[in-house]
C-alpha cells in the first residue's frame, strides 16, 4: 500500500542565466512541496531570500532590486501532475498550474520525470521563466549582464507525509 500524500524531504531549486558578459547561477535548498498522488495536486513554496549566489553582490541585487523579496517573499506553484502512477520506476509527467513570482501569477505547463523507489518519489523538472512575464525589471545599466529568460531546475525528493 502506497502513501497518498508526500512532502519534500530535500529540495534543490536553481536557476541559470547565461549572457556574453556574465553567467548567473543561484541555488535554493529551502523549498517545500506537497504532492497528493490520489488527485495529482502539487504545491511548491520557494522562499526568495534563500537563493544563494556565488557573488554576494548578485544576491543582494537579486533580492533588493529584481525580485523585491521583502515585498514578495515567496514564489509558489499550485497545480496538478498528470502521467504519474504509484509504481516503482521512472515516469514522464506533465505539470500544469499557476506559477506566482514577484506578485504576478501565470499559467504554465512543463514536463518532468518522477521516479518512485523505496516508497519515495524523486521529481526532476526544468522550465524557462521570462522576466518580463513576471514584471521583473532589469535596469539598462546591467541589461546585457542578465538574460531575459532564465532556466529554472527543480530536483525534489518526497517522502510519505505523516501528520
pLDDT grade, residue 162 (50/70/90)?
Answer: confident
Does residue 163 surpass a pLDDT of 80? no
- Cell representation of residue 56: 554576494
**Segment among 58-62, 76-80, 135-139, 140-144 with least mean pLDDT:** 140-144
Backbone dihedral angles phi then psi of residue 68, each to the nearest 5 degrees: 45, 60
Can you list the positions of beta strands (E) in 37-148?
41-47, 52-53, 74-82, 89-101, 104-117, 120-130
Check: CB of residue 46 under 8 Å from CB of residue 74: yes
Alpha-carbon distance 127 to 32, whole Å?
A: 18
Q: Are strands 5-18 and 41-47 parallel, antiparallel or unpaired?
A: unpaired
Q: What mean pLDDT is predicted for residues 87-103?
A: 97
The larger pLDDT score, comparing residue 162 to residue 138, is at 162
Which residue segments constitute the domains of the chain, with CATH numbers given? 5-160 (2.40.128.110)
- Cell representation of residue 8: 519534500
- Cell representation of residue 88: 516503482
Q: What mean pLDDT is predicted for residues 65-80?
A: 95
Residue 1 is predicted with a pLDDT of: 45
pLDDT one-digit tens code per residue, 113-159: 999 999 999 999 999 999 899 998 876 655 556 678 899 999 999 99
Does residue 73 surpass a pLDDT of 90? yes
Amino acid at each position: 500500500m502506497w502513501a497518498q500524500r508526500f512532502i519534500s524531504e530535500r529540495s534543490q531549486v536553481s536557476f541559470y542565466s547565461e549572457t556574453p558578459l556574465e553567467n548567473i547561477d543561484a541555488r535554493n535548498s529551502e523549498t517545500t512541496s506537497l504532492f497528493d498522488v490520489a488527485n495529482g495536486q502539487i504545491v511548491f513554496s520557494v522562499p526568495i531570500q534563500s537563493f544563494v549566489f556565488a557573488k554576494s553582490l548578485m544576491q543582494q541585487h537579486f533580492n533588493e532590486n529584481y525580485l523585491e523579496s521583502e515585498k514578495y517573499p515567496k514564489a509558489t506553484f499550485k497545480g496538478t501532475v498528470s502521467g504519474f502512477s504509484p509504481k516503482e520506476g521512472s515516469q514522464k509527467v506533465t505539470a500544469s498550474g499557476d506559477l506566482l513570482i514577484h506578485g504576478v501569477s501565470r499559467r504554465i505547463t512543463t514536463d518532468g520525470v518522477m521516479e518512485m523507489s523505496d516508497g519515495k518519489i524523486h521529481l526532476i523538472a526544468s522550465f524557462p521563466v521570462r522576466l518580463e512575464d513576471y514584471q521583473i525589471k532589469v535596469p539598462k545599466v546591467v541589461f546585457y549582464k542578465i538574460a531575459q529568460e532564465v532556466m529554472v531546475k527543480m530536483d525534489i525528493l518526497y517522502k510519505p507525509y505523516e501528520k
